[in-house]
């Protein structure tokens, strides 16, 4: 069975139309979003089921959720705000946590970005589709009597078909190297160096948080300032530069065997260096926001920003004339870190300085753009204290932008405390998603 094709068969035009009506989105947007949701979810199952322990965990989800094929019935009602929709969305959210963990928010953000639907709509579609995916798997497991090893074999056989349909960039966003199609050659190592720069926006007094919903890594103080990892990238660039210099000598005259051996050594060293750089960055940030990419702004300024970072998503909204300013489209910062329980930004190894610098550059390049900064917390602790902390942190970010040359008249800030949660506060993962600092375009 081709699982992805079978899943696509359930998403009929009627299903798309009902989902679009329920979410307040266009049918084309929902259709495009689903083209990423299904392979994205199936890719996450394949990735998780690539080990016997992971496959056993997937079987556990199937058993606990009683997924045996019944979930494949009445799909139209599930996606159309029918009686089953809300209960199954709750089930779906739990499945997303089990399958994707801290990457569920990243996938929703990436799908929203490439399809044009709201992030909340992308997340809802993922929650509705997850039981469908597990229902199909449950049916296969039951009909074939599969154990963990058998499920591993079934999933392994789906890799190529899923990879062919996984939209460009989603594999990279989720860290699924085998699905992303991105090579590990030295030629692309520096230009495509993983920017693993995840949201370190702090949340409630107890825990730092991230705007994409991923758990915060334990923060370790790093010596050498906020751009320590740029030195690693620079060193990697020198190594790669030496590789290309020697490689260029291979044309005329022919490089000797000794030189060729040196080139191979440098090539291997460059690969190892870039892997080390990526691992070092990831040890601080905790997640993959995609490869670094160059973006030229309207005033000619060029930024190097991660594919799925807040800067790129904010720019896409600003530059798209069809995107109207509203009060619901927020963009979560992904590299800000505060002192625990305070509204003081950390400027050491968190990437705070770089992100603020990038946002200032964007605002200077687009002088008609105004922003509102919003602060949020989960619902733990004293509500009044959380409201004040969220407001203080939002104002701190606004004040930092003003310090860097942005007219205060173009900015506003407000704290919302535990209002407007984007996930359930009943789980640690949900509370982490709710603790965030965001920005909204109020004029462009």
What DSSP assignment string belongs to 200-256? --B-STT-B--TTSPPPPPP---TT-TTHHHHHHHHHHHHHHHHHHHHHTTSSSPPP
Q: Could you report the per-residue pLDDT of 406-444, keeping only the tens digit for each? A: 999 999 999 999 998 888 888 887 887 888 999 999 999
pLDDT, mean of residues 227-238: 46
pLDDT score recorded for residue 173: 59
342: pLDDT strictly greater than 90: no
Higher pLDDT, 266 or 64: 64
Higher pLDDT, 391 or 309: 391
Are residues 210 and 334 in contact, defined by beta-carbon separation less than 8 angstroms?
Answer: yes
Q: What is the DSSP string of 79-122?
A: TTT-TTHHHHHHHHHHHHHHHHGGGHHHHHHHHHHHH-S-HHHH
| Cβ within 8 Å of residue 202, ≥6 positions away | 208, 209, 336, 337, 338, 339, 340, 393, 435
Q: Could you report the per-residue pLDDT of 292-330, keeping only the tens digit for each? A: 788 899 998 988 888 888 999 999 999 999 999 999 899
The percent of residues in the chain predicted with pLDDT above 70, rounded, is 68
Residue with tokens 């860290």: 175
**Domains in the chain, ordered, with CATH?**
3-180 (no CATH), 292-443 (3.30.1330.60)
Higher pLDDT, 75 or 220: 75
Higher pLDDT, 421 or 230: 421
Q: What gap in Å lies between CA 378 and CA 400, rounded to an integer?
A: 24
The two tokens of residue 380 are 């733990």
Higher pLDDT, 211 or 337: 337
Put simply, whether the predicted model's pTM sits higher than 0.85 gets the answer no
| Cβ within 8 Å of residue 1, ≥6 positions away | 140
**Helix/strand/coil for 442:** strand
For residue 356, what pLDDT band results from cuts at 50, 70 and 90?
very high
pLDDT score recorded for residue 278: 39
Are residues 282 and 238 in contact, defined by beta-carbon separation less than 8 angstroms?
Answer: no
Mean pLDDT of the chain: 74
User: What is the helix (H) or strand (E) element at residue 370, kind and residue range?
Assistant: strand 370-376
Per DSSP, the chain holds a count of helices (H) and strands (E) of 19, 6
Higher pLDDT, 225 or 166: 166
| Cβ within 8 Å of residue 272, ≥6 positions away | none
Q: Could you report the per-residue pLDDT of 152-185, keeping only the tens digit for each? A: 999 988 888 888 888 766 666 555 544 433 222 2
Give me the phi and psi of 108, to 5 degrees please: -60, -45
Q: What gap in Å lies between CA 189 and CA 256, rounded to an integer?
A: 26
Residue with tokens 């300032």: 225
């Amino acid at each position: 069975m081709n699982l992805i094709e079978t899943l696509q068969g359930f998403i009929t035009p009627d299903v798309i139309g009902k989902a679009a009506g329920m979410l307040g989105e266009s049918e084309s947007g929902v259709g495009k979003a689903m083209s990423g949701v299904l392979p994205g979810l199936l890719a996450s199952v394949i990735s998780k089921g690539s080990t016997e322990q992971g496959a056993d965990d997937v079987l556990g989800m199937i058993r606990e959720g009683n997924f045996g094929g019944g979930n494949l019935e009445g799909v139209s009602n599930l996606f159309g705000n029918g009686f089953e929709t809300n209960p199954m969305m709750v089930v779906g959210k739990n499945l997303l946590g089990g399958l994707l963990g801290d990457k569920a928010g990243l996938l929703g953000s990436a799908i929203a970005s490439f399809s044009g639907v709201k992030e909340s709509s992308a997340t809802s579609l993922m929650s509705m589709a997850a039981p469908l995916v597990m229902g199909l798997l449950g049916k296969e497991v039951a009909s074939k009597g599969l154990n963990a090893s058998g499920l591993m074999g079934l999933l392994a056989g789906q890799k190529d078909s899923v990879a062919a349909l996984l939209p460009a960039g989603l594999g990279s966003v989720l860290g699924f190297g085998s699905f992303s199609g991105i090579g590990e050659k030295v030629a692309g190592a520096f230009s495509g160096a993983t920017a693993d720069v995840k949201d370190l926006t702090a949340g409630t007094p107890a825990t730092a948080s991230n705007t994409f919903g991923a758990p915060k890594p334990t923060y370790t103080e790093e010596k050498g300032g906020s751009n320590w990892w740029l030195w690693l990238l620079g060193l990697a660039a020198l190594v790669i530069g030496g590789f290309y210099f020697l490689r260029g000598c291979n044309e005329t005259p022919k490089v000797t065997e000794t030189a060729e051996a040196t080139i191979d050594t440098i090539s291997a060293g460059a690969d190892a260096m870039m892997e080390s750089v990526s691992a070092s960055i990831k040890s601080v940030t905790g997640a993959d926001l995609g490869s670094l990419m160059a973006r030229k702004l309207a005033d000619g300024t060029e930024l190097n920003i991660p594919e799925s970072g807040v800067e790129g998503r904010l720019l896409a909204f600003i530059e798209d004339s069809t995107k109207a300013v509203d009060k619901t489209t927020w963009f979560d910062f992904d590299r800000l870190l505060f002192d625990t329980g305070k509204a003081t930004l950390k400027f050491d190894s968190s990437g705070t300085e770089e992100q603020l610098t990038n946002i200032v550059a964007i605002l200077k390049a687009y002088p008609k753009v105004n922003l509102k900064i919003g602060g949020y917390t989960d619902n733990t602790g004293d509500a009044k204290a959380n409201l004040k902390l969220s407001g203080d942190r939002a104002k701190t970010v606004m004040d930092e932008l003003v310090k860097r040359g942005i007219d205060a008249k173009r900015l506003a800030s407000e704290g919302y405390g535990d209002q407007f949660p984007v996930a359930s506060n009943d789980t640690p993962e949900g509370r982490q998603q709710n603790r965030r600092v965001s920005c909204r375009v109020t004029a462009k």
